[in-house]
Chain A
Amino acid sequence: MIVFLLKRLVAMIPMLLGITVISFAVIHLAPGSPTDMETMMMPKASLEAKARLRALYGLDQPLHIQYWNWLRRLVKFDFGDSFAPDRKKVIDKIAERLPITILINVLSLFMIFLVAIPIGVLSATHQDTFFDKVTTVFVFLGFATPTFWLALLSMILFGVHLQLLPISGIKSMGYEELSGIGKVIDVGRHLVLPLLLSAFGGLAGVSRYMRANMLEVIRMDYIVTARAKGLRESVVIYKHALRNALMPVVTILGLSVPGLIGGSVIFESIFAIPGMGQMFYQSVMSRDYPVVMGGLVIGAVLTLLGNLLADISYALVDPRVRVRHEG
């Protein structure tokens, strides 16, 4: 297991480097410069002043040197300062907003698995029945619907018409005066809609995958053996079959991380949740290069970590994987 872990960790290093190269290239090969934003509105800004501004940010140096400098600081988790008026450190900005994004994504992943796995299992054991068809339509509805559209509709319904749920932010006005439990409930109420909606969109992938796996597994010899032994059907399905069908689903977990993080841009912007997605969107709009680069790198690193986590848990539950990698 340790060999396996070490191998995986070493393999991450070139990936991390690649991530930084791509993030850097994306931002810097584009036309226009961040200093344009500051000088565009000032017709009096002379060429000299513009040049000084570029030098201030180190933008006048050759690309490879800019990259090298950036990378050197990156190793120390120094993403530079934001171009935004607050001039905060990028790493602080991200650290401030990352927890809420991770919280939402973890919770919605949890909800996806909680709903999608039973759906997948039941629609496999009851293949082609009414239940199978209804759930198929249901999960694909979630897959096909543009999330931002559904988000707007549900805001109108639950927030405006029914006045049941808050529609923006994560805290109410009087948050500070609430008791401990009151605070939790308040945040919870704010998160209901974003969570339900993002989970709805992700149901299809996991449940269909689960269904396919389960269909494959229940045709295996050992299931026939289990039935032949006279075990109850529920034991056969939930103990013998489910365990084996569940394993590949773990890999989906890793694969769905980039989608979730990307999706948080949409949710956080619509529901005004102060998370990383919203920050990324705002910094893209204002060409706040250091924050955009920081966001890209952190987003990709989170994905890498997600994959690593999926690999590790896969190796933990399936000894065959461990052996193959160590051998």
Chain B
Amino acid sequence: MPWLIPGSGCDMKGDGISNFREFLARLVSNRLALAGGVVVVSLFLLSLLAPQIAPYDPDEVDVKNILAGPGRQHLCGTDDVGRDVFSRMVYGARISLKVGFVAVGLATMIGVVLGALAGFYRGWVENVIMRFVDLMLCFPSFFLILAVVAILEPSIWNIMIIIGLTGWMGVARLVRAEFLTLRERDFVIAARSLGAADLRIIFVHILPNALPPVLVSATLGVAGAILTESALSFFGPGGAAAHAVLGKYLDGRKRQYRNSLVVITLSGLIYSNNRTRL
């Protein structure tokens, strides 16, 4: 089968189990990667099991303990209306991850489709698409995102979509480059001579071979999207304050310096981890 590239991680018909073993063996031998893996997995577990892990409801108000310092009752203290900081951070991690994956998923889809069309059809299709890519790359994306978010109703979904819509250009360039070389390969000619339609050649034959670099850039993209969202919710129009968004959290803290260091540090650290490890 044409899409079997040894070691590329996308051979769909390969022996899944031995592949996974090899992956594990290589992971264990690389201590840095292993440490990163542990952090990522625990973050995922943290956000998946948020209701089980968080000791309080993230929006529950404890009137008696407003602005409490870290202690036995509240692991990381409480905020200005008495909500448990630790619980809110656990839920915040959940939203951050969701934003990262949805935004990058959208960006990757757009990028793959446009890049594939440009690389496969060449000619004016390629010209139009790639000039559009150049154009979008000219805009400082934070400007664009900020403008749109401020104009649209600020909701976490809008933010995800906008980050996705402004982040597909790199993927499109990557996919196009892959398609340019892959479309000349023998297996594509073979598929065509068997009478395969264009769409089938693009998505069934070429695309699986073009995916590895896309996946790498997507993992980096998740980190970028999370960070962008954090900056956005920090700067106002982002995730509505009711959400336990980490970035918003930092903003809320900005107003009271008291015991803020703990919170700022902790939520910041969660971010940093997200970013380096993903």
Residues of chain A touching chain B, judged by Cβ–Cβ distance below 8 Å, are 14-15, 18-19, 22, 26-27, 30-32, 140-141, 143-150, 152-153, 156, 160, 257-259, 261-263, 265-266, 269, 280-281, 284-285, 287, 292, 295-296, 299-300, 303-304, 307
Contacts and interface: CB of A to CB of B under 8 A. Distances in A.
Given A144-B274, A258-B138, 6 more contacts: A30-B148, A145-B275, A149-B230, A153-B261, A299-B139, A303-B138
A282 B90 CA distance: 32
Interface in B90-129: none
Contact of B147 (A27, A145, A149): A27
B254 interface: yes
18 contacts: A15-B131, A19-B139, A31-B151, A144-B223, A144-B274, A144-B276, A146-B234, A148-B230, A148-B235, A149-B271, A152-B254, A280-B143, A284-B150, A285-B236, A287-B151, A296-B144, A299-B143, A300-B140
B272 interface: yes
Interface in B198-244: 223, 227, 230-231, 234-237
B9 to A, nearest CB: 22
A295 B140 CA distance: 10
Contacts of A156: 257, 260-261
Nearest to A284: B150
Contacts of B136: 22
A174 to B, nearest CB: 26
Main secondary structure of the interface of A (DSSP, over half): helix
B181 interface: no
B213 to A, nearest CB: 15
Contacts of B231: 146-148, 266
Contact of A145 (B138, B143, B235, B268): B268
Given A15-B134, A15-B135, A263 B271 contact: no
A265 B138 contact: no
B152 interface: yes
B271 A145 contact: yes
B48 interface: no
B151 A300 contact: no
Given A152-B264, A153-B268, A266-B235, A15 B138 contact: yes
Nearest to A21: B135
B138 A153 contact: no
